[in-house]
Structure 1
Amino acid sequence: MKWFARYLVSLIACASTYVCMARGIGPVCGLDCRVPTTLCPAEGTNNTFCANAWNSDGKGYQCLEVGDDQRSFVATSHWTSLPAHVVHSYPHIKLGSPLFPRQFRDIASLRVNAEWGMGRSAGPKIATSLAVDSDGLTKSQCIANVAFDIWADLDPVLASNESMARIEIMLWLGVFGPVQPLGWDNKTSRTRPQLRLGDNNFTLFEGSASVGRSTFTWMPDTNYTHISQDLSPLVQYLWKNNLVPAEAYVGTVGFGSESFFSLDPIAFTAQSLSLNVTSEGVAPFSPCDSPAGKNQPLRLLSFLFSFATPMIAYSLS
């Protein structure tokens, strides 16, 4: 019995200093998507990072590097083929939430946070400061956007699959070069629905993709470089006006940049990325959300005692 008591005390001492830890995942290229290795309790909140060169033509590339904090990345792309208005990739982060999938009508808030910059670059590097090199992007004839991408479907399983979900809602935050969303029409743009979110007005455009997906794009009057905002009013407008089914499920929220064309490699840097979802009747959830993690002694101790109790009883019998 003494040997087990000493062993248990040793385990408890280790538990008191246990923290969540994360390791980098290296470059992510092509179609690859990865979740950083983590020792944080598995609550379904880990972010996924995707290079997502979903329409590569072999004449360019898309890669990204993930920051050690799991809340930042830099994506470098270079697509030179014509026509220039064809999108080739959407390097992005999938922001995890334990509440997904969740029906539109049950979502009370979708609060996001993001900071970003873009410019010409010779290769991937996590930036220490963020800026938009407008002159450099113009000289490179860069065609790209910066956007949140929300995926939904009547089937909760398909809602979590970006290639199969039948509803796509985009919130564009930045537009570079001659790029327009599906459903764009200069003649009707002034009469389309508009909503004010924070300090900006957003205009809604509706379209459909070749795979039968319904698309809804909210366009701002001016470009952002950072945002900390509840996006739920833009989503609620759609189901409250019968544009999407209220019972459809939101399965994924991404943030990244659609890349179309550039004469030079372009670097897109995103930092301070987070998502906080609340739902009516669901208790708030506090994920392990700091870069280094949070102390978890009680969780580990609970596991240890659940494991140790029957052994103690066996030793005493």
Structure 2
Amino acid sequence: MFIAADATNSSSTTDSAYEVMIWFGRWGDATQPIGIAEGSQDNHVINGTTFDLYYGSNSLGQKVFTWVAGDNTTTFTGDLAPLVSKLSNNSGPVGDDYLGYVAFGSEALYSFENVTFYVPVLEMDIITVNV
């Protein structure tokens, strides 16, 4: 997710102030979120899945927040809004900011074999709330 105080910037992956990721799995030692060296800064449980928060800045100067599931999660149902809401406690986006870009995917670094990214069912509702 890319978020910014300015609606135009929030729709840009390079101009937004914040990048927010939620990782349901982390396979391999090379897959590390920004801020892992500092350790988890917060955690939150949703429907039995514990997420740890890591954050720092990337090369574009964006503040990158990554919630990482404690265990690789292949099935998940739940409301992820609390993960985004809690970021304001860590100098993250606030209620007035714009969510401008949402994507779903994977980040693969290297594999000796072909890897299949398989998502047989995906459903997402984005609900706007004026606070």
* Distance apart, 1:271 and its partner CA: 2.6
Of the three residues 265, 273, 276, the one matched with 2:114 is 265
Q: Gapped runs of 5+ residues in structure 1?
A: 1-149, 282-317
5 Å-filtered alignment, 1:70-109, equals none
SS in structure 1 at match of 2:24: strand
Whose Rg is larger? 1
Gaps of at least 5 residues in structure 2 are none
**Aligned residue in 2 for 1:182:** 34
Shift of 1:195: 1.0
1:288 corresponding residue in structure 2: none
Which residue among 193, 198, 211 is the counterpart of 2:47? Answer: 198
Greater strand proportion:
1
Correspondence 1:223 to 2:72: yes
Distance 1:257 1:154 in 2: 26
Deviation at 1:258, TM superposition (A): 0.2
AA aligned to 2:66 is T
Query: Cα offset for 1:242?
Result: 5.2
> Aligned residue for 2:11?
160
Distance 2:52 2:90 in 1: 17
Aligned length: 128
Contact 2:2 2:19 survives alignment (8 Å): yes
Whole-Å Cα distance in 2 between the matches of residues 163 and 248 of structure 1? 16
1:244 counterpart residue number: 92
Which residue identity lines up with residue 243 of structure 1 in the other structure?
S
The aligned amino acid for 1:208 is S
What's the counterpart of residue 275 of structure 1?
124
Identity rate of aligned residues, in percent? Answer: 31
**Structure 2: distance between partners of 1:200 and 1:213:** 27
RMSD over aligned Cα, in angstroms? 1.7
**How many Å separate the matches in 2 of 1:199 and 1:248?**
29
TM (norm. structure 2) is 0.88
Structure 1 residue 279: Cα displacement: 2.9
Once residues 236 and 245 of structure 1 are traced to their aligned partners in structure 2, the CA distance between those partners, rounded to angstroms, is 8
Distance 1:242 1:205 in 2: 10
Report the alpha carbon displacement of residue 274 of structure 1 after superposing the two structures with TM. Answer: 2.2
Secondary structure of the residue aligned to 2:25 is strand
Match of 2:24 among 173, 176, 195: 173
**Where do residues 30-109 of structure 1 align in structure 2 (5 Å cutoff)?**
none
TM-score, normalization by structure 1:
0.38
1:232 corresponds to which residue? 81
Q: What amino acid does structure 2 have at the position aligned with 1:164?
A: D
Q: Deviations over 1:249-282 (max 9, x none)?
A: 111221111010011222211232222122336x
Q: Which 4+ runs in 1 deviate beyond 4 A?
A: none
1:207 aligns to 2:56 (yes or no): yes
> 2:3 touches 2:10 (CA, 8 Å); kept in 1?
yes
